[in-house]
């Protein structure tokens, strides 16, 4: 087995199938995992050697080495194992030893098949000869993150052993939770050899923190002791959540029957266990293991299944390597391994497996069904289809509440039944059965509380000197008052848990504090929250979490106003000149149309020409007041009048409304009409002390800093606006709408806003980043809004005389009504008049034709009888005759038509009887 310096020497070969092939096994025999794995490995060797179809006469020999739960001894044992010319090593179960031994097997080209090292970092390319035959903690941590997201928890505390496996596993959990917008709020680590006192002190510190969701990632041999200490500290009661990794099911599966005291201790714990299909092959192995005489455990956990399959994996790979691929087992001295300066390490005894690279590839290509399920590796050298059972521990035992697989996430369906279906990781597909939590409750814990022995919530409140209705100092408890405080207290009272709190004034009281600095103090954890008129703006949301807005807000521009003096000609202002002209013309036009339509029917529209002209004017303008005394009798006249009266009604109503607005309007004392005109001017602008408006105006709107004037209180607002820019005041003030509404109300509407709100924001309560209280308070604020309490609090503190908020203008023309607003009405009325005139003319002309050929003689006879008798009949007509005909009464025309009809009838009778 020894070598001679730097020369390569073949020490052992297996030229025929009658030789023995050695495989090493490296783990702690006297451990929860080791006691299950040892009989499984020995059984697997026996089963392989008894199956002649696998190695065809080659005997598989196992070389066992005990690491004795020691990293140092485990490393030494591993080095000794390599001296036995093994073609593969099964183990170790310790991730720390695996990191060290992986460097050795890389050099000696010996595949290391670990059934117990779950450290995710061992999958790195740095360890090409490390082959994990169990599931990586990478998948387990993502399964835990999915469970945390499923129940809506945002923060957890991890308790773990500070070794390679613990640190790297928790680091993987942190990455997984970050993808779910959650985080590890505290990492409680303890050394592998920690005493009971150290662990108890650690749990006491953890119990003082807000989070009540604990992820326990420890060794199976000492993990139960942590639950015993937690029980004594009252940490296994209502409100707590304990999530254990696969170490806990490994302990429980090794105990048969279950220890009732242990199960009672663990009542309510949720744990993850490697999922292995419940097949006949698995049942046969478990039965065979329980019947072994040399077994040291009553039950067997999942690591026994992975250890059993690891041996079979080597056997299947050897079969392909030796018999199918023509490989040869030989070992050579590595020239890099030689003793220097008389060292007693005897490194030259370590020999490299010549066929190691090929054998490694053969192992990774092997594909068979084992007792743990399908044994096949993906491109990252991980077993395919990683899955876990999710267990809920009860007093009478554990039960499966669901499963997790890398294929479908959380589900209440067995994973292998989903592999044939399309992948579905949607939230709606994630279902788990009910869970009994610590304390025997079925209600999902919130995941965090304010512990009674913890510090109260330190709440910063701005110490304002203006607009004290919103928030101010108070002599009575709790030391502050105002609209914002009442809203916060009402929301706190809606929470399903008590929140001890302490209000602390922020600011010196001689001026309003800087609200950006107030928010920064919360972000730096000097305060737990900020309550007051704090505006939600972008730069603040980057450092704290805000609740749902409880008050809408936005920056507006406010200017002073003055009353308008009434003019003697104010009654003309509602309409433009064009509107007046068109309206007057239509009055005359409609009057003339009605006269034409009524002249032949209505005696009130007949008479001397002077009287008829006066009637037209009187009737036209009297319709403005609906006081016309002439009645309309014709159908066409009534139709035109009805439509015109509707137009008059609209015109009167509009005139009245416009005149009222003009006579009561307030005019601005400046030319500022909004934020745009304010930016283009060069006059001073007032802002509130401590407001974010300064930064917004200078950074976003590029207004010069020299134009900004800081005003401390409401009286400064009034004085500055009344003085104006010429007398040392300001042309306008830019502030948030709630302050401006209160200002206008307190000053009897002496000021007005111009333009529109040019920012949209709101007031909210600020909490530290990722504080669960922010979410609960948002829900409470929404509830206050829905039940009307928020409006009641508003009315209590802020209900004042309301002033119209909106743009006012000194241009009276903006209140005038033009023809463009009424041309549709005039068009309808005009069309109705034209239709009525056309109908009238058609009817008139038809009647006139019926009088032909003697109609003109009858007209002349009536007008000039002597001339008619002396003149012979003629068939010619004239326009004058038509007008004379139109002037006749409708009743007379009808009577003459009847007479004419009778004469024609007599004439026909005489003609027929004359022969």
**442: pLDDT confidence band, cut at 50, 70 and 90?**
very high
Q: What is the mean pLDDT of the chain?
A: 83
Choice between 451 and 211, residue whose per-residue pLDDT is larger: 211
Q: What are the distances in angstroms from CA 763 to CA 9, 239, 481, 534, 540?
A: 81, 32, 17, 5, 12
Q: What is the pLDDT of residue 628?
A: 61
* Range among 289-298, 466-475, 562-571 with highest mean pLDDT value: 466-475
Q: Is 149 left (phi over 0), alpha (psi -120 to 50) or beta?
A: alpha
Stretch 6-11: mean pLDDT: 34
For residues 848 and 719, give the distance between their C-alpha atoms in angstroms, rounded to a whole number. Answer: 83
Average pLDDT over residues 722-738: 91
Handedness of CA 671, 676, 682, 687 (dihedral sign): positive
Q: What does each C-alpha distance from 228 to 203, 236, 262 come to in angstroms? A: 11, 9, 9
pLDDT of 863 > 50? The answer is no
Rounded-to-integer distance, Cα 92 and Cα 29, Å: 11
Tens of pLDDT, residue by residue over 358-390, are 999 999 999 999 999 999 999 999 999 999 999
- As a whole number of angstroms, the distance between CA 524 and CA 516 comes to 12
540, two tokens:
């603040």
pLDDT reading at 74 higher than 80: no
pLDDT score for 342:
54
Name the more confident of 871 and 236.
Answer: 236
Residues of the chain with pLDDT > 70: what percent?
A: 81
Instruction: Kindly indicate the confidence band of residue 437, based on its pLDDT and cuts at 50, 70 and 90.
Output: very high
Q: Residue 469 has what pLDDT?
A: 93
Does the structure show a pLDDT above 70 at 606? no
What gap in Å lies between CA 619 and CA 601, rounded to an integer? 16
> Which secondary-structure segment (H or E) carries 12?
strand 10-13
The phi-psi region of residue 711 (left if phi > 0; otherwise alpha if psi is between -120 and 50; otherwise beta) is beta
**What pLDDT is attached to residue 68?**
81
Choose among 406, 149, 75, 388: nearest CA to 247. Answer: 388
- How does pLDDT run across 238-253, given as a tens digit for each residue? 989 999 999 999 999 9
| pTM for this entry | 0.67
Question: Residue 59: beta bridge partners?
Answer: 20
Asked whether residue 853 carries a pLDDT value surpassing 70, the answer given is no
- Residue pair 180/148 in contact (Cβ under 8 Å)? The answer is yes
Torsion angle, CA of 885/886/889/892, rounded to 10 degrees? 30
End-to-end CA distance of the chain: 165
pLDDT at 444 over 60: yes
More confident residue, 654 or 735: 735
**What percentage of the chain has pLDDT greater than the value 90?**
48
Name which of 62-76, 289-303, 523-537 the model is least confident about. Answer: 62-76
Q: What integer pLDDT is reported at residue 874 of this predicted model?
A: 44
3-state SS, one letter per residue, for 105-131: HHHHCCCEEECCCCCHHHHCCCCCCEE
């Amino acid at each position: 087995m020894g070598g001679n310096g730097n020369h390569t020497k073949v020490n052992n070969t297996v030229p025929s199938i009658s030789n023995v092939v050695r495989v090493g096994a490296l783990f702690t025999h006297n451990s929860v995992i080791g006691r299950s794995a040892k009989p499984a490995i020995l059984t697997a060797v026996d089963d392989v050697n008894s199956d002649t179809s696998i190695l065809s006469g080659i005997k598989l020999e196992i070389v066992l080495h005990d690491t004795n739960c020691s990293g140092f001894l485990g490393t030494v044992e591993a080095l000794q194992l390599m001296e036995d010319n093994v073609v593969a090593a099964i183990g170790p179960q310790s991730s720390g030893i695996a990191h060290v031994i992986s460097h050795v097997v890389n050099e000696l080209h010996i595949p290391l098949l670990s059934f117990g090292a779950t450290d995710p970092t061992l999958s790195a390319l740095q360890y090409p000869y490390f082959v994990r035959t169990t599931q990586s903690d990478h998948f387990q941590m993502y399964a835990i993150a999915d469970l945390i997201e499923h129940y809506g928890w945002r923060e957890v505390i991890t308790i773990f052993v500070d070794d390679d496996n613990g640190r790297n596993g928790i680091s993987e959990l942190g990455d997984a939770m970050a993808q779910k917008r959650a985080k590890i709020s505290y990492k409680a680590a303890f050394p592998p050899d920690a005493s009971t006192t150290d662990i108890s002190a650690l749990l006491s510190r953890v119990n003082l923190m807000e989070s009540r969701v604990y992820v326990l990632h420890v060794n199976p041999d000492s993990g139960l002791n942590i639950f015993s200490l937690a029980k004594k500290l009252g940490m296994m009661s209502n409100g707590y959540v304990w999530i254990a990794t696969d170490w806990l099911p490994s302990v429980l599966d090794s105990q048969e029957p279950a220890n009732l005291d242990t199960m009672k201790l663990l009542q309510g714990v949720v744990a993850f266990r490697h999922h292995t299909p419940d097949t006949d092959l698995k049942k046969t192995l478990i039965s065979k293991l329980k019947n072994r005489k040399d077994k040291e455990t009553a039950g067997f956990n999942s690591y026994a299944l992975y250890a059993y399959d690891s041996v079979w994996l080597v056997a299947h790979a050897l079969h392909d390597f030796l018999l199918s691929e023509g490989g040869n087992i030989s070992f050579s001295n590595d020239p890099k391994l030689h003793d220097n300066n008389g060292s007693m390490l005897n490194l030259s005894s370590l020999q490299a497996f010549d066929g190691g690279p090929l054998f490694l590839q053969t192992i990774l290509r092997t594909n068979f069904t084992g007792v743990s399920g399908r044994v096949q590796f993906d491109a990252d050298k991980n077993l395919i289809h990683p899955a876990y059972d999710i267990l809920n521990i009860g007093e009478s035992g554990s039960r499966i509440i669901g499963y997790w697989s890398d294929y479908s996430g959380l589900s209440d369906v067995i994973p292998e039944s989903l592999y044939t279906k399309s992948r579905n990781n949607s939230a709606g597909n994630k279902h788990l059965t009910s869970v009994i939590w610590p304390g025997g409750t079925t209600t999902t814990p919130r995941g965090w509380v304010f512990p009674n022995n913890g510090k109260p919530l330190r709440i910063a409140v701005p110490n304002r000197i203006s607009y004290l209705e919103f928030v101010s100092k108070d002599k009575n408890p709790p030391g502050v008052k105002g609209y914002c405080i009442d809203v916060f207290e009402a929301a706190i009272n809606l929470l399903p848990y008590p929140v001890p709190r302490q209000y602390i004034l922020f600011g010196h009281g001689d001026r309003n504090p800087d609200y950006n600095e107030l928010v920064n103090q919360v972000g730096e954890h000097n305060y737990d929250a900020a309550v007051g008129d704090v505006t939600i703006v972008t730069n603040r949301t980057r450092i704290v979490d805000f609740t749902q807005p409880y008050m809408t807000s936005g920056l507006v521009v406010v200017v002073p106003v003055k009353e308008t003096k009434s003019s003697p000609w104010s009654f003309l202002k509602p309409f433009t000149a064009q509107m007046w002209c068109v309206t007057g013309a239509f009055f005359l036009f409609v009057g003339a149309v009605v006269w034409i339509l009524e002249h032949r029917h209505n005696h009130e529209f007949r008479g001397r020409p002077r009287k008829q002209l006066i009637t037209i004017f009187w009737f036209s303008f009297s319709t403005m007041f609906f006081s016309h005394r002439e009645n309309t009798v014709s159908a066409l006249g009534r139709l035109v009048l009805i439509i015109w009266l509707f137009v008059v009604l609209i015109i009167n109503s509009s005139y009245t409304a416009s005149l009222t607005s003009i006579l009561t309007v307030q005019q601005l004392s400046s030319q500022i009409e909004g934020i745009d005109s304010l930016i283009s001017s060069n006059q001073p602008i007032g802002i509130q002390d401590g407001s974010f408006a300064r930064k917004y105006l200078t950074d976003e709107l590029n207004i010069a800093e020299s134009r900004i004037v800081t005003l401390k209180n409401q009286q400064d607002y009034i004085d500055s606006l009344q003085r104006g820019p010429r007398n040392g005041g300001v042309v306008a003030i830019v502030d948030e709408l709630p302050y401006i509404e209160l200002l206008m109300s307190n000053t009897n509407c002496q000021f007005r806003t111009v333009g529109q709100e040019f920012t949209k924001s709101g007031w909210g309560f600020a909490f530290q980043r990722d504080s669960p209280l922010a979410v609960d308070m948002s829900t409470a604020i929404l509830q206050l809004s829905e039940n009307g309490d928020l409006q009641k609090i508003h009315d209590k503190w802020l209900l004042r005389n309301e002033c119209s908020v909106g743009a006012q203008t000194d241009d009276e023309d903006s209140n005038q009504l033009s023809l463009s607003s009424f041309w549709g009405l005039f068009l309808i009325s005009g069309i109705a008049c034209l239709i009525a005139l056309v109908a009238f003319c058609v009817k008139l002309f038809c009647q006139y034709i019926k009088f032909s050929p003697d109609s003109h003689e009858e007209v002349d006879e009536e007008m000039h009888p002597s001339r008619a008798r002396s003149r012979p009949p003629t068939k010619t007509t004239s326009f004058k005759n038509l007008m004379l005909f139109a002037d006749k009464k409708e009743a007379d025309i009808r009577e003459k038509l009847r007479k004419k009809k009778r004469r024609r009838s007599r004439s026909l009778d005489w003609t027929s009887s004359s022969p």
